[in-house]
Amino acid sequence: VGELHLPALRDRRSDIPQMALAILERINKAFKTPKRLSQDSLELLLIQSWPGNIRDLQNVIERAALLSSKAVLEPRDLNVLPWSERSENSFAIPALGDGFSLENHLSTMRQRIIDTALSQSSGRQSEAARLLGISPQAVHRYVKEKVQAYRN
């Protein structure tokens, strides 16, 4: 008996859109439905922290496809909020010393806070901006940069 190691999705972000579309295609065939993922939904899936493997992604897409009556699944249909509540979003003061970079730490904290706001707003960038007290354009720029970084 062999052992198969499935890396966490966070380590395979570039594969997420293809996996998500393949999962939805299987669901569409099984239930004879024409469901699609919006571009915003794909972007939301890309920026999630994904603590687990493909089964987590599959569960999110299956739940959205089965519960939504719409043909196009939007971010609010994906219901990815539980990951924003994970302990990795807690704020702790890091060990200071050699190798510590305040700029890097602040950048990481900024990303976590924006990701949490996006999760709490089900991917609605204008709502995330309202929660954060920043402009919708700033959130859109952040999402665009993050998606571009994952594609590269």
116 or 29, greater pLDDT: 29
Residue 142 lies in a domain: yes
Residue 3 lies in a domain: no
CA distance 123 to 45: 9
Total domains, the chain: 1
Residue 100 lies in a domain: yes
Residue 22 lies in a domain: yes
pLDDT in tens, 95-151: 777 888 888 888 888 888 888 888 888 888 999 999 999 999 999 999 888 877 767
Residue 77 lies in a domain: yes
119 or 30, greater pLDDT: 30
CA distance 111 to 105: 10
The whole-number pLDDT of residue 93 equals 63
**How confident is residue 34, by pLDDT bands cut at 50, 70 and 90?**
very high
The whole-number pLDDT of residue 91 equals 52
Residue 92 lies in a domain: yes
Q: Please, are residues 73 and 37 in contact by the beta-carbon 8 Å criterion?
A: yes
Helix (H, G, I), strand (E, B) or coil at 89: helix
List 73's β-bridge partners, or say none: 37
Residue 2 lies in a domain: no
Residue 104 lies in a domain: yes
Choose among 73, 10, 18, 7: nearest CA to 40. Answer: 73
Q: Which domain holds residue 51?
A: 9-151
Domain with residue 59: its CATH number is: 1.10.8.60
The whole-number pLDDT of residue 152 equals 67
With left for phi above 0 and alpha for psi between -120 and 50, is residue 79 left, alpha or beta?
left
pLDDT in tens, 38-97: 998 998 888 887 777 788 899 899 989 988 889 999 988 887 754 444 444 445 566 777
